[in-house]
Chains A and B, each alone.
Chain A
Amino acid sequence: MADDIRALSDVLARDPASLVYADLAEALRRRGDVEQALGVAQRGLSRHPDHADGLDCVGRIHADRGDFAQARDAWAHVLAVAPTHAGALKGMAFALFREGDRFGAETLLEQALAAHPEDEAARRALETVRRSEVGAPAPAAAAAPAPPSPPAAPPVRPEPAPVNAAAERPPVFRGMEGATADILLFDDRGLVVAGGIAGPQGADVSELAAAALAGVSGEAGRTAQYLSLGPWGTIVAEAERANLVLAPVGAGALLLVRRDRSMPVGLTVRIAERAQGAARAWLERQGA
Protein backbone atom coordinates (compact mmCIF):
# COMPACT_ATOMS: atom_id res chain seq x y z
CA MET A 1 0.00 0.00 0.00
CA ALA A 2 2.76 2.46 0.97
CA ASP A 3 4.61 1.62 -2.24
CA ASP A 4 1.47 2.22 -4.25
CA ILE A 5 0.96 5.59 -2.62
CA ARG A 6 4.57 6.54 -3.24
CA ALA A 7 4.39 5.47 -6.87
CA LEU A 8 1.12 7.32 -7.45
CA SER A 9 2.49 10.41 -5.72
CA ASP A 10 5.52 10.33 -8.03
CA VAL A 11 3.31 10.11 -11.11
CA LEU A 12 1.20 13.01 -9.90
CA ALA A 13 4.27 15.08 -9.06
CA ARG A 14 5.56 14.61 -12.61
CA ASP A 15 2.18 15.35 -14.17
CA PRO A 16 -0.10 17.37 -11.87
CA ALA A 17 -2.89 17.18 -14.47
CA SER A 18 -2.91 13.37 -14.40
CA LEU A 19 -6.15 11.60 -13.53
CA VAL A 20 -4.11 9.34 -11.28
CA TYR A 21 -5.00 11.73 -8.45
CA ALA A 22 -8.21 9.73 -7.98
CA ASP A 23 -6.25 6.50 -7.45
CA LEU A 24 -3.93 8.23 -5.01
CA ALA A 25 -6.87 9.71 -3.07
CA GLU A 26 -8.53 6.29 -2.95
CA ALA A 27 -5.33 4.63 -1.70
CA LEU A 28 -4.98 7.27 1.02
CA ARG A 29 -8.63 6.81 1.97
CA ARG A 30 -8.20 3.07 2.27
CA ARG A 31 -5.17 3.64 4.50
CA GLY A 32 -7.35 5.82 6.72
CA ASP A 33 -5.77 9.18 5.80
CA VAL A 34 -9.14 10.67 4.90
CA GLU A 35 -8.19 14.34 5.27
CA GLN A 36 -5.12 13.91 3.09
CA ALA A 37 -7.22 11.91 0.63
CA LEU A 38 -9.78 14.70 0.49
CA GLY A 39 -7.09 17.30 -0.21
CA VAL A 40 -5.64 15.24 -3.06
CA ALA A 41 -9.09 14.62 -4.54
CA GLN A 42 -10.13 18.26 -4.31
CA ARG A 43 -6.94 19.45 -5.98
CA GLY A 44 -7.52 16.95 -8.77
CA LEU A 45 -11.12 18.01 -9.18
CA SER A 46 -10.07 21.65 -9.44
CA ARG A 47 -8.48 20.61 -12.76
CA HIS A 48 -11.11 18.04 -13.74
CA PRO A 49 -14.37 19.23 -12.15
CA ASP A 50 -16.57 16.61 -13.86
CA HIS A 51 -14.22 13.63 -13.44
CA ALA A 52 -16.62 10.91 -12.31
CA ASP A 53 -14.07 8.66 -10.57
CA GLY A 54 -12.61 11.58 -8.64
CA LEU A 55 -16.07 12.73 -7.54
CA ASP A 56 -16.97 9.18 -6.59
CA CYS A 57 -13.86 9.00 -4.42
CA VAL A 58 -14.86 12.28 -2.73
CA GLY A 59 -18.26 10.73 -2.01
CA ARG A 60 -16.60 7.78 -0.28
CA ILE A 61 -14.25 10.04 1.66
CA HIS A 62 -17.20 12.09 2.96
CA ALA A 63 -19.04 8.86 3.85
CA ASP A 64 -15.97 7.76 5.82
CA ARG A 65 -16.03 11.08 7.65
CA GLY A 66 -19.73 10.58 8.42
CA ASP A 67 -20.74 13.56 6.28
CA PHE A 68 -23.48 11.92 4.24
CA ALA A 69 -24.95 15.17 2.94
CA GLN A 70 -21.63 15.95 1.25
CA ALA A 71 -21.29 12.35 0.12
CA ARG A 72 -24.70 12.51 -1.54
CA ASP A 73 -23.80 15.78 -3.25
CA ALA A 74 -20.67 14.22 -4.67
CA TRP A 75 -22.47 11.09 -5.88
CA ALA A 76 -25.31 13.17 -7.34
CA HIS A 77 -22.70 15.12 -9.30
CA VAL A 78 -21.25 11.84 -10.59
CA LEU A 79 -24.68 10.61 -11.67
CA ALA A 80 -25.32 13.89 -13.44
CA VAL A 81 -22.26 13.40 -15.63
CA ALA A 82 -22.20 9.59 -15.71
CA PRO A 83 -25.69 8.23 -14.95
CA THR A 84 -24.60 4.58 -14.89
CA HIS A 85 -21.45 5.00 -12.78
CA ALA A 86 -21.43 1.88 -10.63
CA GLY A 87 -19.56 3.40 -7.68
CA ALA A 88 -21.87 6.38 -7.44
CA LEU A 89 -25.05 4.30 -7.81
CA LYS A 90 -23.88 1.97 -5.03
CA GLY A 91 -22.64 4.84 -2.90
CA MET A 92 -25.88 6.76 -3.25
CA ALA A 93 -27.82 3.59 -2.51
CA PHE A 94 -25.75 3.14 0.65
CA ALA A 95 -26.48 6.72 1.72
CA LEU A 96 -30.21 6.34 1.05
CA PHE A 97 -30.38 3.01 2.87
CA ARG A 98 -28.57 4.50 5.80
CA GLU A 99 -31.21 7.23 5.93
CA GLY A 100 -33.95 4.62 5.96
CA ASP A 101 -34.93 4.94 2.32
CA ARG A 102 -34.91 1.25 1.46
CA PHE A 103 -36.89 1.75 -1.72
CA GLY A 104 -34.65 4.48 -3.01
CA ALA A 105 -31.62 2.30 -2.33
CA GLU A 106 -33.24 -0.63 -4.08
CA THR A 107 -34.02 1.48 -7.15
CA LEU A 108 -30.44 2.67 -7.49
CA LEU A 109 -28.99 -0.81 -6.97
CA GLU A 110 -31.32 -2.13 -9.65
CA GLN A 111 -30.02 0.59 -11.97
CA ALA A 112 -26.45 -0.37 -11.08
CA LEU A 113 -27.12 -4.01 -11.89
CA ALA A 114 -28.94 -3.15 -15.11
CA ALA A 115 -25.88 -1.21 -16.27
CA HIS A 116 -23.30 -3.63 -14.79
CA PRO A 117 -24.83 -7.13 -14.55
CA GLU A 118 -21.46 -8.56 -13.51
CA ASP A 119 -21.23 -6.37 -10.40
CA GLU A 120 -21.44 -8.93 -7.59
CA ALA A 121 -21.17 -6.29 -4.87
CA ALA A 122 -24.25 -4.55 -6.23
CA ARG A 123 -26.08 -7.87 -6.46
CA ARG A 124 -25.27 -8.76 -2.84
CA ALA A 125 -26.23 -5.29 -1.68
CA LEU A 126 -29.54 -5.50 -3.52
CA GLU A 127 -30.29 -8.86 -1.93
CA THR A 128 -29.47 -7.43 1.47
CA VAL A 129 -31.69 -4.39 0.92
CA ARG A 130 -34.58 -6.57 -0.24
CA ARG A 131 -34.21 -8.84 2.78
CA SER A 132 -33.91 -5.95 5.18
CA GLU A 133 -36.56 -5.34 7.80
CA VAL A 134 -36.98 -2.81 10.58
CA GLY A 135 -33.73 -2.49 12.49
CA ALA A 136 -31.74 -4.60 10.05
CA PRO A 137 -28.11 -3.63 9.61
CA ALA A 138 -27.19 -1.51 6.60
CA PRO A 139 -25.54 -3.34 3.71
CA ALA A 140 -22.60 -1.03 4.12
CA ALA A 141 -19.72 -3.18 3.00
CA ALA A 142 -21.57 -4.38 -0.04
CA ALA A 143 -23.42 -1.27 -1.08
CA ALA A 144 -20.83 1.38 -0.49
CA PRO A 145 -17.63 1.04 -2.42
CA ALA A 146 -15.63 -0.13 0.57
CA PRO A 147 -16.34 2.34 3.35
CA PRO A 148 -14.14 1.00 6.18
CA SER A 149 -16.42 1.31 9.18
CA PRO A 150 -19.64 3.13 8.39
CA PRO A 151 -21.89 4.16 11.24
CA ALA A 152 -24.69 1.81 12.13
CA ALA A 153 -27.81 2.25 10.09
CA PRO A 154 -30.83 3.92 11.64
CA PRO A 155 -34.03 1.89 11.81
CA VAL A 156 -35.41 1.28 8.37
CA ARG A 157 -38.97 2.28 7.57
CA PRO A 158 -40.76 -0.82 6.35
CA GLU A 159 -43.10 1.02 4.00
CA PRO A 160 -42.12 4.65 3.55
CA ALA A 161 -45.04 6.76 2.43
CA PRO A 162 -44.52 7.83 -1.15
CA VAL A 163 -42.90 11.24 -1.49
CA ASN A 164 -43.37 12.25 2.14
CA ALA A 165 -40.83 15.01 1.79
CA ALA A 166 -42.80 16.49 -1.10
CA ALA A 167 -45.99 16.62 0.97
CA GLU A 168 -44.17 18.80 3.50
CA ARG A 169 -43.11 21.34 0.89
CA PRO A 170 -45.22 24.39 -0.07
CA PRO A 171 -48.38 23.25 -1.94
CA VAL A 172 -47.56 25.27 -5.06
CA PHE A 173 -49.12 22.81 -7.48
CA ARG A 174 -52.12 21.75 -5.40
CA GLY A 175 -54.96 20.56 -7.59
CA MET A 176 -52.70 19.54 -10.45
CA GLU A 177 -52.19 15.87 -11.25
CA GLY A 178 -48.85 14.68 -9.89
CA ALA A 179 -48.51 17.82 -7.75
CA THR A 180 -46.10 16.12 -5.33
CA ALA A 181 -44.82 13.23 -7.44
CA ASP A 182 -44.31 14.52 -11.00
CA ILE A 183 -43.77 18.28 -10.73
CA LEU A 184 -40.69 19.81 -9.15
CA LEU A 185 -39.71 23.43 -8.55
CA PHE A 186 -36.03 23.95 -7.76
CA ASP A 187 -33.38 26.61 -8.07
CA ASP A 188 -30.47 26.67 -10.47
CA ARG A 189 -28.08 25.54 -7.75
CA GLY A 190 -30.04 22.32 -7.46
CA LEU A 191 -31.96 23.08 -4.27
CA VAL A 192 -35.54 21.81 -4.08
CA VAL A 193 -38.19 24.52 -3.51
CA ALA A 194 -41.59 22.86 -3.96
CA GLY A 195 -43.39 19.89 -5.45
CA GLY A 196 -41.60 16.59 -5.82
CA ILE A 197 -40.57 13.77 -8.09
CA ALA A 198 -41.14 10.17 -7.01
CA GLY A 199 -38.85 7.39 -8.14
CA PRO A 200 -40.15 4.14 -9.63
CA GLN A 201 -40.70 2.65 -6.16
CA GLY A 202 -42.36 5.75 -4.76
CA ALA A 203 -39.35 7.16 -2.94
CA ASP A 204 -38.74 10.89 -3.22
CA VAL A 205 -35.91 11.51 -5.69
CA SER A 206 -36.45 15.28 -5.92
CA GLU A 207 -33.03 16.18 -4.56
CA LEU A 208 -31.29 13.83 -6.95
CA ALA A 209 -33.19 15.22 -9.91
CA ALA A 210 -32.54 18.81 -8.88
CA ALA A 211 -28.85 18.09 -8.32
CA ALA A 212 -28.59 16.45 -11.73
CA LEU A 213 -29.96 19.62 -13.35
CA ALA A 214 -27.99 22.14 -11.29
CA GLY A 215 -26.46 24.78 -13.52
CA VAL A 216 -28.32 23.76 -16.66
CA SER A 217 -30.35 26.97 -16.79
CA GLY A 218 -27.36 29.30 -16.71
CA GLU A 219 -25.47 27.19 -19.20
CA ALA A 220 -28.41 26.99 -21.61
CA GLY A 221 -29.08 30.70 -21.25
CA ARG A 222 -25.49 31.77 -21.83
CA THR A 223 -24.96 29.49 -24.80
CA ALA A 224 -28.34 30.31 -26.34
CA GLN A 225 -27.47 33.99 -26.20
CA TYR A 226 -24.02 33.30 -27.64
CA LEU A 227 -25.62 31.39 -30.52
CA SER A 228 -28.15 34.22 -31.01
CA LEU A 229 -31.02 31.90 -30.11
CA GLY A 230 -32.52 34.37 -27.64
CA PRO A 231 -33.89 33.28 -24.25
CA TRP A 232 -34.70 29.58 -24.00
CA GLY A 233 -38.25 28.48 -23.20
CA THR A 234 -38.43 24.74 -22.67
CA ILE A 235 -36.22 21.67 -22.87
CA VAL A 236 -38.12 18.47 -23.60
CA ALA A 237 -36.46 15.09 -23.06
CA GLU A 238 -38.15 12.03 -24.52
CA ALA A 239 -36.90 9.02 -22.58
CA GLU A 240 -37.67 5.30 -22.62
CA ARG A 241 -40.44 5.38 -20.02
CA ALA A 242 -41.34 9.04 -19.52
CA ASN A 243 -41.05 12.48 -21.02
CA LEU A 244 -39.49 15.31 -19.03
CA VAL A 245 -40.10 19.01 -19.58
CA LEU A 246 -37.74 21.56 -18.05
CA ALA A 247 -38.74 25.23 -18.07
CA PRO A 248 -37.39 28.40 -16.44
CA VAL A 249 -39.56 30.15 -13.86
CA GLY A 250 -38.30 33.66 -13.40
CA ALA A 251 -34.73 34.33 -12.41
CA GLY A 252 -32.90 31.33 -11.02
CA ALA A 253 -35.81 28.91 -10.64
CA LEU A 254 -36.64 25.90 -12.79
CA LEU A 255 -39.59 23.61 -13.21
CA LEU A 256 -39.39 19.92 -14.06
CA VAL A 257 -42.52 18.05 -15.14
CA ARG A 258 -42.60 14.33 -15.82
CA ARG A 259 -45.35 12.47 -17.61
CA ASP A 260 -45.68 8.93 -18.86
CA ARG A 261 -44.49 8.35 -22.40
CA SER A 262 -48.03 7.48 -23.46
CA MET A 263 -49.00 11.14 -23.06
CA PRO A 264 -48.30 13.25 -26.17
CA VAL A 265 -45.32 15.54 -25.72
CA GLY A 266 -47.40 18.58 -26.67
CA LEU A 267 -49.83 17.88 -23.84
CA THR A 268 -46.97 17.45 -21.37
CA VAL A 269 -45.65 20.84 -22.46
CA ARG A 270 -49.10 22.39 -21.88
CA ILE A 271 -49.16 20.90 -18.37
CA ALA A 272 -45.70 22.32 -17.77
CA GLU A 273 -46.94 25.75 -18.86
CA ARG A 274 -49.79 25.54 -16.35
CA ALA A 275 -47.37 24.51 -13.62
CA GLN A 276 -45.02 27.29 -14.71
CA GLY A 277 -47.85 29.80 -14.21
CA ALA A 278 -48.63 28.43 -10.75
CA ALA A 279 -44.95 28.53 -9.79
CA ARG A 280 -44.54 32.10 -11.05
CA ALA A 281 -47.58 33.27 -9.10
CA TRP A 282 -46.36 31.55 -5.94
CA LEU A 283 -42.85 32.99 -6.28
CA GLU A 284 -44.31 36.47 -6.75
CA ARG A 285 -46.35 36.03 -3.58
CA GLN A 286 -43.14 35.12 -1.79
CA GLY A 287 -41.57 38.36 -3.04
CA ALA A 288 -39.08 36.51 -5.23
Chain B
Amino acid sequence: MSDVLDRALDRISRVRGVRGSMIVAADDGIAVAELLMDGVNGKAVAALAGSLARKMGGAAAVTGAGRVRFLQMDAAEGTLLVAAAPRDLVVVALGDPSVNVGLCRIEMMRAAEAAAR
Protein backbone atom coordinates (compact mmCIF):
# COMPACT_ATOMS: atom_id res chain seq x y z
CA MET B 1 0.00 0.00 0.00
CA SER B 2 2.71 2.44 1.01
CA ASP B 3 4.74 1.84 -2.16
CA VAL B 4 1.67 2.31 -4.31
CA LEU B 5 0.83 5.60 -2.61
CA ASP B 6 4.43 6.77 -2.75
CA ARG B 7 4.53 6.11 -6.48
CA ALA B 8 1.22 7.92 -6.96
CA LEU B 9 2.48 10.93 -5.01
CA ASP B 10 5.71 10.87 -6.98
CA ARG B 11 3.75 11.14 -10.23
CA ILE B 12 1.85 14.16 -8.92
CA SER B 13 5.02 15.83 -7.73
CA ARG B 14 6.59 15.42 -11.19
CA VAL B 15 3.99 17.77 -12.68
CA ARG B 16 5.71 21.07 -13.36
CA GLY B 17 4.99 23.62 -10.64
CA VAL B 18 3.91 21.14 -7.96
CA ARG B 19 5.64 21.79 -4.64
CA GLY B 20 4.32 18.73 -2.88
CA SER B 21 1.58 16.17 -2.64
CA MET B 22 -0.05 14.34 0.22
CA ILE B 23 -2.77 11.88 1.12
CA VAL B 24 -4.72 13.15 4.09
CA ALA B 25 -7.52 11.84 6.31
CA ALA B 26 -10.40 14.21 5.58
CA ASP B 27 -12.00 14.00 9.02
CA ASP B 28 -9.00 15.09 11.08
CA GLY B 29 -6.52 16.51 8.54
CA ILE B 30 -3.77 14.05 9.46
CA ALA B 31 -1.33 13.08 6.69
CA VAL B 32 -1.27 9.42 5.67
CA ALA B 33 1.51 9.84 3.09
CA GLU B 34 3.40 12.85 1.80
CA LEU B 35 6.03 13.95 -0.67
CA LEU B 36 6.93 17.59 -0.14
CA MET B 37 9.63 19.98 -1.24
CA ASP B 38 11.86 21.33 1.50
CA GLY B 39 10.27 24.16 3.39
CA VAL B 40 6.67 23.13 2.79
CA ASN B 41 4.86 22.66 6.10
CA GLY B 42 3.00 19.40 5.61
CA LYS B 43 0.94 19.71 8.78
CA ALA B 44 -0.40 23.12 7.75
CA VAL B 45 -1.19 21.91 4.22
CA ALA B 46 -2.94 18.80 5.54
CA ALA B 47 -4.94 20.73 8.12
CA LEU B 48 -6.11 23.30 5.58
CA ALA B 49 -6.96 20.65 2.99
CA GLY B 50 -8.93 18.60 5.52
CA SER B 51 -10.78 21.64 6.79
CA LEU B 52 -11.64 22.88 3.29
CA ALA B 53 -12.83 19.42 2.30
CA ARG B 54 -15.08 19.22 5.38
CA LYS B 55 -16.50 22.72 5.12
CA MET B 56 -17.05 22.82 1.36
CA GLY B 57 -18.40 19.27 1.64
CA GLY B 58 -20.88 20.49 4.26
CA ALA B 59 -21.97 23.40 2.09
CA ALA B 60 -22.34 21.14 -0.95
CA ALA B 61 -24.42 18.67 1.05
CA VAL B 62 -26.89 21.22 2.40
CA THR B 63 -27.28 22.95 -0.96
CA GLY B 64 -28.00 19.70 -2.78
CA ALA B 65 -24.81 19.89 -4.86
CA GLY B 66 -23.86 16.39 -3.73
CA ARG B 67 -20.50 14.98 -2.81
CA VAL B 68 -17.48 17.15 -3.57
CA ARG B 69 -15.02 15.48 -5.94
CA PHE B 70 -12.42 18.17 -6.47
CA LEU B 71 -11.46 21.42 -4.77
CA GLN B 72 -9.19 24.19 -5.97
CA MET B 73 -8.10 27.12 -3.82
CA ASP B 74 -6.33 29.82 -5.81
CA ALA B 75 -4.12 32.27 -3.97
CA ALA B 76 -1.78 35.00 -5.19
CA GLU B 77 1.34 32.87 -4.78
CA GLY B 78 0.05 29.33 -5.08
CA THR B 79 -2.71 26.84 -5.65
CA LEU B 80 -4.04 24.15 -3.35
CA LEU B 81 -5.79 21.20 -5.03
CA VAL B 82 -7.80 18.56 -3.17
CA ALA B 83 -9.33 15.46 -4.75
CA ALA B 84 -11.74 13.15 -2.94
CA ALA B 85 -10.56 9.58 -2.48
CA PRO B 86 -12.22 6.50 -0.97
CA ARG B 87 -12.02 5.69 2.76
CA ASP B 88 -12.55 9.34 3.74
CA LEU B 89 -9.16 10.28 2.34
CA VAL B 90 -8.26 13.23 0.15
CA VAL B 91 -5.36 13.63 -2.25
CA VAL B 92 -3.73 17.03 -1.89
CA ALA B 93 -1.34 18.92 -4.13
CA LEU B 94 0.27 22.29 -3.49
CA GLY B 95 1.51 24.11 -6.57
CA ASP B 96 2.61 27.38 -8.07
CA PRO B 97 -0.09 29.68 -9.46
CA SER B 98 0.87 28.53 -12.95
CA VAL B 99 0.63 24.80 -12.22
CA ASN B 100 -1.13 22.75 -14.91
CA VAL B 101 -4.29 22.00 -12.95
CA GLY B 102 -5.69 19.61 -15.57
CA LEU B 103 -2.60 17.43 -15.62
CA CYS B 104 -2.27 17.56 -11.87
CA ARG B 105 -5.90 16.57 -11.52
CA ILE B 106 -5.40 13.49 -13.67
CA GLU B 107 -2.52 12.33 -11.52
CA MET B 108 -4.47 13.10 -8.35
CA MET B 109 -7.37 10.98 -9.57
CA ARG B 110 -4.91 8.16 -10.21
CA ALA B 111 -3.62 8.55 -6.69
CA ALA B 112 -7.20 8.43 -5.40
CA GLU B 113 -7.68 5.13 -7.22
CA ALA B 114 -4.43 3.87 -5.73
CA ALA B 115 -5.62 4.83 -2.27
CA ALA B 116 -8.73 2.71 -2.83
CA ARG B 117 -6.71 -0.47 -3.35
Contact = CB atoms under 8 A, between A and B. Distances in A.
A267 interface: no
Given A80-B55, A223-B47, A238-B68, A209 B75 contact: no
A227 B94 contact: yes
B45 interface: yes
Contacts of A83: 57-58, 60-62
Interface residues on A, range: 35 or more
Interface string B52-71: 10111111111111111111
Contact of A244 (B59, B74, B80): B59
Contact of B63 (A82, A209, A216, A231): A209
B2 interface: no
B59 A220 contact: no
Contacts of B1: none
A219 interface: yes
Interface in A226-246: 226-244, 246
Contact of A81 (B44, B58, B66): B58
Nearest to B56: A237
Interface of B is mostly: mixed
Interface string A56-80: 0000000000000000000010011
Interface string B28-64: 0000000000001100110110011011111111111
Nearest to A233: B74
Q: Which of A80, A230, A258 has the most CB of B within 10 A?
A: A80
Interface of A is mostly: mixed
Contacts of B65: 237, 239-244, 258
Interface string B3-42: 0000000000000000000000001000000000000110
Contacts of A208: 62-63
Nearest to A214: B55
Given A111-B61, A219-B48, A237-B56, A226 B75 contact: no
Contact of B56 (A79, A224, A241, A244): A244
Contact of A237 (B47, B68, B74): B68
B103 to A, nearest CB: 16
Nearest to A108: B62
B112 to A, nearest CB: 13
Contacts of B61: 79, 83-84, 111, 212
A230 B52 contact: no
B82 to A, nearest CB: 9
Interface string A200-220: 100001001100110110011
Contact of A234 (B45, B62, B64, B73): B73
30 contacts: A79-B61, A83-B57, A83-B58, A199-B63, A199-B64, A205-B64, A212-B55, A212-B58, A212-B62, A213-B56, A213-B58, A215-B55, A219-B51, A220-B48, A223-B44, A223-B48, A227-B40, A227-B44, A228-B78, A230-B75, A230-B77, A231-B75, A233-B74, A234-B74, A236-B74, A237-B56, A238-B68, A241-B66, A242-B64, A258-B63
Given A209-B62, A216-B51, A241-B65, 14 more contacts: A199-B63, A205-B62, A205-B63, A213-B59, A219-B51, A220-B48, A223-B48, A229-B75, A235-B71, A236-B71, A237-B60, A238-B71, A242-B64, A244-B63
